[in-house]
Structure 1
Amino acid sequence: MPGRVHAPVRSVVTGGPGTGKSTLLEELARRGIATETEVARAILQAPGGMALRARDPAGFARAMFEAELAAWHGAQRRDGPTVFDRGFPDIAGFLALEGLPVPPEIADACRDLRYDGPVFRAPPWQAIYRPDAQRIQDWDAALASDAAVTAAWRTYRYEPIDLPLADVSDRADFVLARL
């Protein structure tokens, strides 16, 4: 249609910890797709990040929100799709898991700053789950995290599409076929 401007596609890979999200985004980037890395992991790897997460979960959520907001706006300036490692509803899911309320600005972002591409869920996959310095949850906590973030995405009217339990190449093919 003449004069129609196509908005960039902002897609997301969500799910609990250790489900292969970051590995999948690395593969998508290798294939030429713009990606945004997980903001929570970047915060946790920074000096004081683990302490912030432990002593002030609401402050940690605020830091994730600010970083996610910058990434979301940055993706608007790109041509073509951008795939995010998590998104605003993941922050709401984290807060729910912590028993904390979702602040209005985060709820507003979840409702109003829409991801316009598919939201892919990397389901729990015990065979690949490995704790590390930032991924401190045991398997049961990882399952609870997945349930909380998946519920948050649905609360904000997204229908996540489960990724297959397959190697990273097959998962990347699955995502690319749907972008």
Structure 2
Amino acid sequence: MNRFVVVSGCSGGGKSTLIEALAARGFATVEEPGRRIVREERAGGGLALPWVDLAAFARRAIAMATADREAAEAMPGWVFFDRGLIDAAAALEHATGEVVAEPLARAHPYHRTVFLVPPWPEIWTGDSERLHDLADAEAEYDRLARMYPALGYTVHELPKADVEARVAFVLATLG
């Protein structure tokens, strides 16, 4: 059984908070590639930023998510990914029209159960690593909500609830 679980969905909807709560319970977790890329690009004066060159950003995210997945092989038990390869592939397909998600999903599968964080306007905020607005975040969510099932994943939308309820939902769903 594949033990690599993706938490995806709307940016600003509480994915990272959920991942942090799972880590606090002792689960292995992987930080979102996009946030790491933004920090690295800004520190080095790079342009592979989603608001500057989405295709370059997505290509870096694919490379990082692939490396993350390979590194996770050494982690025990469930490994929870704050986004992953499919998210990066969806961004590249959106930016360029290249069809990359299906072959990447076949070559680097995750657990068939994927958790999607829905748009939640009441908690959404931008920050220095998230410069897009809520409408862009909702459009991204819609792309991901179509892509994951199209690739054979079973999607469970997380409830709009506090983080402990979300952790309980994830763990109960995984059994």
Scaled by the length of structure 2, the TM-score of the pair is: 0.89
> What is the alpha-carbon distance in structure 1 between the residues aligned to residue 94 and residue 107 of structure 2?
22
- The one of 27, 50, 60 aligned to 1:63: 60
Q: Which runs of 5+ in 1 are unaligned?
A: 1-6
Match of residue 84 from structure 2: 87
Q: Is 2:6–2:111's contact at 8 Å kept on the other side of the alignment?
A: no
- The one of 72, 77, 84 aligned to 2:74: 77
Aligned residues: 171
Q: Deviations over 1:127-172 (max 9, x none)?
A: 1100111111111111101111222212211121000100011101
Q: Which runs of 5+ in 2 are unaligned?
A: none
Tell me the CA shift for residue 50 of structure 1: 7.1
Q: Is 1:15–1:149's contact at 8 Å kept on the other side of the alignment?
A: yes
Root mean square deviation of aligned Cα: 1.8
After TM superposition, the structure 1 = structure 2 runs for residues 101-120 of structure 1, keeping only pairs within 5 Å, are 101-102=97-98, 104=100, 107-116=102-111, 118-120=113-115
Match of residue 172 from structure 2: 177
Runs of 4+ with deviation above 4 angstroms: none
Residue 37 of structure 2 aligns to which amino acid in structure 1?
Answer: I
Match of residue 4 from structure 1: none
**Which structure would you say has the larger Rg?**
1
Q: Is 1:92–1:149's contact at 8 Å kept on the other side of the alignment?
A: no
> What is the alpha-carbon distance in structure 1 between the residues aligned to residue 114 and residue 68 of structure 2?
16
SS of corresponding position for 2:29 = strand
Tell me the CA shift for residue 11 of structure 1: 0.5
> What is the alpha-carbon distance in structure 2 between the residues aligned to residue 107 and residue 55 of structure 1?
26
Match of residue 142 from structure 2: 147
- The yes-or-no answer on 1:27 pairing with 2:21 is yes
Quickly say closer, same or farther: Cα 1:158–1:43, change in 2 above 3 A. Answer: same
The percent identity for this pair of structures is 36
> What is the alpha-carbon distance in structure 2 between the residues aligned to residue 148 and residue 138 of structure 1?
16
SS of corresponding position for 2:47 = helix
> What is the alpha-carbon distance in structure 1 between the residues aligned to residue 48 and residue 108 of structure 2?
26
SS of corresponding position for 1:136 = coil
Q: Is 2:62–2:89's contact at 8 Å kept on the other side of the alignment?
A: no
Tell me the CA shift for residue 57 of structure 1: 2.0
